[in-house]
Amino acid sequence: MKPLINIENLAVELQAKLILSDVSLSLGKGEILGLVGPSGCGKTTLLNTLAGFIEQSSGSIEISSGEQVKKITLDTMLPAEQRNIGMIFQDYALFPHLSVSENICFGLKNIAKAEQSARCEELLSLLELSELSARYPHELSGGQQQRVAIARALAPQPSLLLLDEPFSNIDARLRHELMIEIRQLLKRLGMTAIFVTHNKDEVFTFADKIAVMNQGKVLQVGEPAQVCQQPNSWQVADFLQLGCWLPVTLLNETENLKVTSLIGQTTGDTLITAVGDNTTVENHTDSALNLQLLVKPNDLELSEQAENNVIIEHISVTQQGYHYLLSSIEQNNALAFKQLSFYSQNLYVLGTELAIKLSGQHFLLYPTGPIIKANN
């Protein structure tokens, strides 16, 4: 199926600074993409570039609308109003002096009054705003304002909808319910959408795909579950907070990859190397890479045989029991660590020393700097 939007090698330079670089993405009709990444990585810049508010420096944007394909390059730049893209801003940007109905109809001035009215009534009904049509933005709750912003963006019947942190101003108690409601609406309309968020949980609720960005580049794109299960770089795993980082050393094993840490060893049959760029840890054994094991809380368990190797630095209560942040007792070591997550139903006292070991069946191994090599 031909993608509704296809972005190839997009770059944006602002004030002699490269903000976006080699961004390539595609979405089919009706798909919803969640853009995530640390602050300043270029997420909102990408939305504004797609919308036409910022001019691209290189690359192309193709948008399909029915049989028509609009290809936007430096030579074929289109202004925002000709791109058929709807945009919902973080603060909704509703006109305070206009009623709900007037806000929705604001972008429909080029069509007949009867069609304006019919389209407005349809959207008021779809978004459950009919009883609020005469109210002004200041008379609405945050969730109601968001519905109005969505209705206004959908009124011109755009090919693509862009949303900049659409749920950040919604009360936490209502956020999940509203996300499900808006997702169902977009799916019912077959609307393709890209939204920016800092919250990975919003992506799992709202999106079909996730794109993780860092320093102006897209690091990985895929279904949220697939990206979380197989992050292709330590930056992706770190931003999505998929576990804790455990420094390890590469042992000089000729037949089998083996790493060791201050809480135990693990071997090649449980290791999945995730170096990226079609390389492997094995190919780098003569270079200087710093290896980190991605460790999830259920990859750890108490050890009755080993000596104490960690100390409890912090305690919190969660639905999974008590959550402990552990540091290694030995700190004068290149493999020392300070924040390893561990869950237990047992309550321990702050400062308690424990013996823990690696117990997981699969570990992701990433290089993040110079390798520390050790001999058996």
The answer to whether residues 170 and 86 belong to one domain is: yes
pTM: 0.86
DSSP states of 122-173 as a string? Answer: HHHHHTT-GGGTT--GGGS-HHHHHHHHHHHHHTT--SEEEEESTTTTS-HH
In a shared domain, residues 203 and 295: no
325 lies in which domain range? 246-374
Whether 362 is covered by a domain: the verdict is yes
Q: Is residue 241 part of a domain?
A: no
Give me the residues paired with residue 11 across strands: 58
What pLDDT, on the 0 to 100 scale, is given for residue 209? 96
Q: What is the pLDDT of residue 267?
A: 75
- Residue pair 209/172 in contact (Cβ under 8 Å)? The answer is no
CA angle 352, 353, 357 (to 5 degrees): 130
Mark whether 319 and 203 lie in a shared domain: no
Whether 220 and 159 share a structural domain = yes
Same domain flag for 252 and 223: no
The residue assigned the tokens 């509703």 is 94
Write the DSSP assignment of 169-192 as a string of letters: TS-HHHHHHHHHHHHHHHHHHT-E
- Mean pLDDT by 10-residue block, N- to C-terminus, for the chain (376 residues)? 90 94 95 94 95 95 85 90 90 91 88 90 91 93 90 92 89 84 91 92 93 95 93 90 91 74 85 55 50 90 90 92 94 92 94 93 77 38
Q: How far apart are CA 142 and CA 375, in angstroms?
A: 60
Last residue of a domain, one of 174, 201, 236: 236
Backbone angles phi, psi at 308, to 5 degrees: -55, 135
Residues 14 and 162 occupy one common structural domain: yes
The answer on 250 and 335 residing in a single domain is yes
User: Is residue 298 one of the residues assigned to a domain?
Assistant: yes
Go through the chain and tell me how many residues it has: 376
Number of structural domains in the chain = 2
Handedness of CA 337, 36, 180, 100 (dihedral sign): positive
- Residue 146 domain-assigned? yes
One domain, residues 140 and 280: no
Provide the CATH number for the domain around residue 216.
3.40.50.300
Domain-embedded: residue 284: yes
pLDDT of residue 289: 56
Are residue 310 and residue 218 in the same domain, yes or no?
no
Nearest Cα to Cα of residue 192 among 33, 1, 24, 25: 33
Q: Which of 208, 236, 264 is the last residue of a domain?
A: 236
Of 173, 206, 236, which residue is a domain's last? Answer: 236
Residue pointed to by tokens 């968020």:
197
Of 225, 169, 189, 170, the closest CA to residue 34 belongs to 225
* Whether residue 262 sits in one domain with residue 174: no
Is the domain of 161 the same as that of 23? Answer: yes
Question: Do 14 and 121 belong to one domain?
Answer: yes
Smallest CA-to-CA distance from 261 within 276, 245, 275 is with 245
Q: So what's the pLDDT on residue 274?
A: 61
Q: How far apart are CA 71 and CA 238, in angstroms?
A: 35
